[in-house]
Structure 1
């Protein structure tokens, strides 16, 4: 069975609506990346020029230089081992390599939600990436699943951050623990944990500040929040999610490296993926940082934050090619 056929069977086991969100959300990247790749593979022979053009396309889609070189090296090896002669046969092989990289060596993907007791999730990331909106959307998702959710407004630095989280709390119908602007974020998170315990909450979602212009202060602040959480609940935080804006491209990788130095980031939330033609950044993040992408923003609506699925991502990118293969 071909890779494209196996992929379609796996994806078809999930709900169609989610699949469609990935297809529409990745349409810009698909037409840009896969369209360009298709034109390169629509040639008479496999040669060095073809490989170089593929490298340029992948780098241009924010797949990253190191990751691109590995992808093309693996493609060369597969061509040799499988004795492939026609460039047109490379599309499913390339997509299989991308899917493999997205799954990562550890295969880790889902959220670490506790079966019993309180799950504490920290959100970190620079201002403007959609951190507070992500928290609101996740609160909505978990509440709809029947969980009791509380929000902690730990971004006490950015003007309006506390109020923005309170608006989401009212909209979703969950409590928000807050202090005054300028308060100690660790104290807010501490109070959030106490409130969550007292009210029998299942999940505590904690916002944090995202100012990078004073990196030392920010990192010390995040470390303190982390220590306070761990002191109260030794195995927490159960997730520390770094929120990145997909439209910032390679800059997102730099942000990830900075935040990973301060706290033990467990996964990535990639927002605004529908707003870029360079969705290859997902592959670069997974491969170069070794961090799973756990959620992706595929639109403005409250349910447009989707749990990331490597198979759905690849299927959405190569959908037209998959349909052609079936004809």
Structure 2
């Protein structure tokens, strides 16, 4: 009686053991090749957490730097020249007060030409940006960090970038998704949380944001997370009710004796001076620092000086790309070098 041949083998016309072994080997090699191709694709697109890989500040601010150099090279000491310099500085979004102060310092030193003006401006900018506490203060267990801001500033992406930085520093973050009004926010957070392998606690659509934030705090305690990062819904700073809701969320997080370590205002750098009005209103809910996003786009950068000079709020981080590692601690001298060119 002839041996029974399994139908897949018979279908392929293989009726000998050595032929079957050959097919198995080829199938194994094919599977290995597929896995290798997929690994190479992922390794090309994957970006390591906590490391910058987007546009650098120097390249982002190159246009501003070139315009300033052009103005300074033509400076002759005339009233028209000083006016042109002031207007160019204002165009960087640094504000009228800071621009006038810089021009006045340059006039008093009686310098002319880009090579002489640049170090004077550098010294004044460094002076304006000095003396701010830019550290991310993480106190308590878990430490609580709340991100706030208007719609479209990049809060949700910033939450993920901050979680990535904390992971790289050996921390164990948990994300609280308290934006219960925008369905896409929860989806976006889940994608990031899965990618970073960070636990996420969120609520149903329309749920009370303060309750969701409190549930996330309880979960952080239960799971042993040492940092809770809370994403809040974007809101217009002119809406009294929405701002009161935000203040309630911060109060609820601190009602069991906990202390909210940081309330970070996420601002879009491309909004320029209009962002100052936002910052003034959000400061009323206890903002401790600013995250300035989208400096890799059309931002002019000078708004950093306006925020700190007029509102006394430290810029703690800047976003220079869309990857998880594109959140950089703000460094005053490095920013001045990016704006004016290295000394």
TM-score normalised by length of structure 1: 0.83
CA distance in 2, matches of 1:264, 1:213: 14
1:237-279 residue CA offsets vs partner (Å, 9 max, x unmatched): 1100000111111121121112123x01100001100102511
TM-score normalised by length of structure 2: 0.80
- Matched residue of 2:232: which SS? coil
- Structure-2 residue corresponding to 1:141: 165
- Matched residue of 1:123: which SS? strand
1:25 aligns with 2:57: yes
CA distance in 2, matches of 1:87, 1:314: 15
2:237–2:282: 8 Å Cα contact kept in structure 1?
A: no
Within 5 A, what are the aligned runs for 1:87-126?
Answer: 88-103=115-130, 106-114=131-139, 117-126=141-150
Judged with a 3 Å threshold, the aligned counterparts in structure 2 of structure 1 residues 202 and 211 are, in CA distance, closer, same or farther, namely same
1:295–1:307: 8 Å Cα contact kept in structure 2?
A: yes
**Distance apart, 1:160 and its partner CA:** 1.6
CA distance in 1, matches of 2:149, 2:157: 12
1:241–1:268: 8 Å Cα contact kept in structure 2?
A: yes
1:55 aligns with 2:86: yes
CA distance in 2, matches of 1:117, 1:192: 13
2:75–2:112: 8 Å Cα contact kept in structure 1?
A: no
- Structure-2 residue corresponding to 1:307: 329
Within 5 A, what are the aligned runs for 1:61-80?
Answer: 61-77=92-108, 79=109
1:193 aligns with 2:207: no
**Distance apart, 1:74 and its partner CA:** 3.0
Within 5 A, what are the aligned runs for 1:130-169?
Answer: 130-169=154-193
Bigger Rg over Cα:
2
CA distance in 1, matches of 2:328, 2:207: 33
Alignment RMSD, CA only? Answer: 2.1
1:152-201 residue CA offsets vs partner (Å, 9 max, x unmatched): 11111123212211111111111111111100111011111111111111
- Matched residue of 1:112: which SS? coil
CA distance in 2, matches of 1:135, 1:85: 45
Judged with a 3 Å threshold, the aligned counterparts in structure 2 of structure 1 residues 298 and 259 are, in CA distance, closer, same or farther, namely same
CA distance in 1, matches of 2:253, 2:224: 17
Judged with a 3 Å threshold, the aligned counterparts in structure 2 of structure 1 residues 233 and 76 are, in CA distance, closer, same or farther, namely farther
Judged with a 3 Å threshold, the aligned counterparts in structure 2 of structure 1 residues 147 and 181 are, in CA distance, closer, same or farther, namely same
Q: Which runs of 4+ in 1 moved over 6 A?
A: none
1:197-255 residue CA offsets vs partner (Å, 9 max, x unmatched): 11111100001111228712211111111111121234x21100000111111121121
1:297 aligns with 2:341: no
Judged with a 3 Å threshold, the aligned counterparts in structure 2 of structure 1 residues 213 and 297 are, in CA distance, closer, same or farther, namely closer
**Distance apart, 1:21 and its partner CA:** 6.3
CA distance in 1, matches of 2:167, 2:99: 40
CA distance in 2, matches of 1:292, 1:168: 27
- Structure-2 residue corresponding to 1:6: none
CA distance in 2, matches of 1:21, 1:182: 35
Unaligned runs of 5+ in 1: 1-16, 323-327
- Matched residue of 1:294: which SS? strand
1:104-138 residue CA offsets vs partner (Å, 9 max, x unmatched): xx421111123x62210000001111100000111
1:254 aligns with 2:277: yes
